[in-house]
A and B are shown apart, each in its own frame.
Chain A
Amino acid sequence: MTQSLTDEPAIDLVPSRPAVWSRGLVRKFGKTTAVDQVDLSIMPGEFYGLLGQNGAGKTTTIKCIVGLLRPSDGTVGIGEFDTWAHPTEVKSRIGVLPEEFNLYERLTGAELLDFTAAMHGLDKAEAAKRRNELLEMLDLGNAGSKLIGDYSRGMRKKVALGAAIIHRPPVLFLDEPFEGVDAVSARLIRNLLQQAAAGGTTIVFSSHEMHLVEKLCTRIGIMVEGRLTIEETPEGLCKLTDRDNVEDAFIAAVGGEGVDHLSWYETSSG
């Protein structure tokens, strides 16, 4: 019997232990400290929103946790595994939707899904079945045979999401999943993520779309200049900052209520 996205993930994490964690994570680039002493504990089944302004350290943090960037200090891991001591075990438990479209442009959508499934050890029949269902669900049925290089931004995002979940990982990392996608695709991606979360998948989600963060996330972490300054539920964040919605609360939390107009744009001609 095959499983659907709402079933339990194929590889379980211990419910009482954090699914995603970091202890004293530091990442420096030369003299710049991009991530500074970040301690994360995201429990299984959480839909965790990692927020921050551009350059706050969100992507760097995620890259360190998934094994793409070596921490300068501290430890990171998934469940019982330290990412840098057991990279293969960690990578078999995660799905990653990268911020940039670093996909194989010269594979078709169907081939990318098959390739990812094979690398995660799925058997051939199961891979074919999941690939076809994903292409259908993501509205990529006809595009499955086109090269990804010919895809639109939204199509790339969808096929990348399909590749991130084809092996039903217990932990999903999504970096800006809604950036640059149309309303229809955004709805589709949102539904898919809600299904995955309902099935017990832990989701770490970085986005600038605050209304979606408010709607989807069970907990929010806000990073400012490399530090994790606030961890709260969406309601808790609004209460803490005395604002009505997550967007205003976020702006207040990161101190973004500064100059908001250009003096030289006020006159009719330059």
Chain B
Amino acid sequence: MVRNLVGLKARLTWNGIRDDTQRRFGFPIATLLLGGAGWYLANGYLEAAEGMSPVALANLAGWGALLFFAAWVTLPVIIFPLDENLDPQQLAVLPITHREIVTGLAVASFVAPATVVPVLVMGANASVLSEGWWMVIPASLVYLGLLAVGSQLFSAAISAILRTRRGRDIATFLILGLAAGSFFAYRSIDGAVTEIGVAAAVTSHPIIDWALVIPPVAAQRAIVEAATGDPLGALVFLAAAGLGLALLAGLWRRLLGWMLTTPQEGSRPAARARRSGFTSGLWGVVPTLSRKELRFYVRDPRQRLVWTGTVIFVGLAVAGTVMGTTGFFDIRDNDWAPLMAPVLVLFVGLPIALNLFGWERNAASYLFVLPATPRQLLLGKNLAVATALAIETVLLALLLSLFTGFWQWTWLVGPLAVSAIGCQLAVGNFVSVLTPLRLPREGTDVFAQSTEQGCLAIVSQTLSFFTIGLLLVVPSSIMALTVSFGRPIPAWFAATAAVAWGLLVYGVSLWLSSKLLRRRLPEVMAWVQVV
């Protein structure tokens, strides 16, 4: 059965590359990018391990195994998901047990370009701990199993949380916790390494001693013990890692069983919306389309998750304020700190602003058969994104003003936000029309998105963000000369120039992208529709 599922995954991947233009380009790009990342990590590990004492090396190996595991498990959810073409819902109707589904999905998850990363890192690990050669293969296999099962379990847990209304309500706090926790962890590690160096930092925090209760570290310790000539110890830690793997797999199996038999709870529309539909309030093509979008921001769990991304910055701002005034988040002494809000919020809206039609999924064919002009379609969607970004900008600016106690430049947030939002929408319209991204079907797994699309999304979003940054050089330079460097430019001029620049860039983009959309409407629909 496992062989069948691996074969199925390989066939789906190959067919995708053969028949889907997006994947044909995405697959090699993804493999190259991931290969580069794996090479960088493996090289970094080899360099850090050079000349280390056995104790330091053991702890470096332990920390490396733990951090790689944590990143592998969480990154698909936070940044881009792993390839998950095998939908458990479809497998559930076949005469196979949940145990077989779990095993099959775990093994099949390695039929993806991302596999190149652990392979390269584990190759480096085997080279560093070459004296334990006989344990490298079994322990690495258990570690790979932990990566696969841990990643699937984490994604499934987040999906399960988002399936229930209550879960969706607490998802915001989960993100806040993850953001603040990651930042604290990053600052702690960075602080220790900068202060006393890698070898001393890992030795003073001996993670390897906790191996029995942390399965990925146990797998690594098995190799370490073998390398230090303790075969019995190596076998004990291999067994501990294996037990951890079995426990995680069992948890995943239970969760999967629950998800396969529990339907997703829909959002409840507000009572007022239930009564009056769209007829209370603004009417007309653009406002109604915009209101439809805004309702989806609230009702679609994925979109809601995107918009609650602002809390990441709130979490980082709080953590930065608590941790001290040095480093990246040195915000407490700057009277212009609130002006960071429009720029920070741009990160939040990217997945929606750069993929306006992808979120329509199959309903694109409904929208595109309605007699709205391409300009009206873009305007309606832009108005919704701008509204959401404006609300989040105002809230974040107020919070930053409260944290720092500086209110002098808070009013300039408005004009800068118009400029920033205008530039983001300008780039977003082009990207949405030229390279729309297909989003996964709503249903069993909200993170079911292929790696190459995730990578394409990253490439496209990075390039777009770079372009948005370039466009923002003009207003941000003017703002900088208004609030700093001797303040040679009066504030009223900066405000007017920022607004004018934002509107100009947006206007030109709207005109051009409307023309493009008119030509490419069927292509956009074909790209975003979920098969």
Binding site for B on A (CB under 8 A): 66-70, 87-92, 94, 96, 98, 100, 102-108, 110-111, 113-116, 118-121, 123-124, 127-128, 131, 144-145, 147, 149-150
Contacts and interface: CB of A to CB of B under 8 A. Distances in A.
Given A102-B366, A106-B267, A106-B296, A87 B278 contact: no
Given A103-B366, A119-B372, A147-B269, A108 B277 contact: yes
Interface residues of B, number: 37
A116 B372 CA distance: 10
A233 to B, nearest CB: 29
A91 B362 contact: no
A107 B300 CA distance: 10
A104 B363 contact: yes
A110 B277 contact: yes
Nearest to A128: B279
A118 to B, nearest CB: 4
A91 B371 contact: yes
Contact of A106 (B283, B299, B521, B529): B299
B11 interface: no
Interface in B339-379: 362-366, 368-373
Contacts of A96: 369
A111 B369 CA distance: 17
A69 to B, nearest CB: 6
Contacts of A119: 285, 288-289, 370-372
Contacts of A120: 370-371
B78 interface: no
Interface string B246-288: 0000000000000000000011010001110111000111001
B11 to A, nearest CB: 19
A108 B273 contact: yes
A69 B292 contact: no
B295 interface: yes
Nearest to B265: A150
A154 B529 CA distance: 23
Interface centre among A70, A88, A91, A106 (most CB of B within 10 A): A106
Contacts of B267: 106, 147
Given A88-B371, A114-B277, A150-B266, A121 B363 contact: no
Contacts of A124: 279, 283
B377 to A, nearest CB: 10
A135 to B, nearest CB: 10
A124 B362 CA distance: 27
A115 B278 contact: yes
Contacts of B372: 88, 119
B371 A92 contact: yes
Most buried by A among B283, B296, B518: B283
A116 B296 CA distance: 16
Contacts of A123: 283
B87 interface: no
Contacts of A89: 371
A66 B369 contact: yes
B288 A115 contact: yes
Nearest to A71: B522
Given A118-B284, A118-B285, A68 B368 contact: yes
Contact of A107 (B283, B295, B364, B518): B295
Interface string B492-531: 0000000000000000000000000010011101000100
A11 to B, nearest CB: 11
A111 B522 contact: no
A96 B371 CA distance: 12
A114 B278 contact: yes
B442 interface: yes
26 contacts: A67-B521, A67-B522, A68-B522, A70-B523, A87-B518, A88-B373, A96-B369, A98-B369, A100-B362, A100-B365, A102-B363, A102-B364, A104-B292, A104-B363, A111-B273, A111-B292, A114-B288, A115-B278, A115-B292, A118-B285, A119-B370, A121-B285, A124-B283, A127-B279, A131-B277, A147-B269
Contacts of A100: 362, 365
Nearest to A64: B522
A118 B278 contact: yes
A87 B525 CA distance: 15
Given A70-B522, A145-B274, A106 B362 contact: no
Given A67-B521, A69-B522, A118-B283, A106 B277 contact: no
Contacts of B277: 108, 110-111, 113-114, 128, 131, 144
A119 B284 CA distance: 7
Nearest to A123: B283
Contacts of A98: 365-366, 369
A119 B266 CA distance: 26
Contacts of A144: 277
B21 to A, nearest CB: 12
Contacts of B284: 118
Nearest to A105: B442
B284 to A, nearest CB: 6
A121 B365 CA distance: 19
A83 to B, nearest CB: 11
Among B279, B284, B372, B518, which residue has the most Cβ atoms of chain A within 10 A? Answer: B279
B481 to A, nearest CB: 45
A94 B369 contact: yes
A149 B295 CA distance: 14
Contacts of A110: 274, 277
A-B complex: 10 closest residue pairs judged by Cβ atoms? A145-B274, A118-B288, A92-B371, A114-B278, A91-B371, A114-B277, A110-B277, A102-B362, A106-B299, A119-B370
A116 B288 CA distance: 9
Nearest to B373: A88
Contacts of A92: 371
A95 to B, nearest CB: 9
A268 to B, nearest CB: 22
Contacts of A87: 518, 521
B267 to A, nearest CB: 7
B370 to A, nearest CB: 4
A64 B274 CA distance: 36
A68 B529 CA distance: 12
A149 B301 CA distance: 13
Contacts of A94: 369
A145 B269 contact: yes
A68 B524 CA distance: 10
Nearest to B299: A106
Contacts of A102: 362-366, 529
A26 to B, nearest CB: 15
A108 B274 contact: yes
A70 B442 CA distance: 27
A116 B370 contact: yes
A247 B117 CA distance: 59
Nearest to B264: A149
A91 B369 contact: yes
Nearest to B271: A145
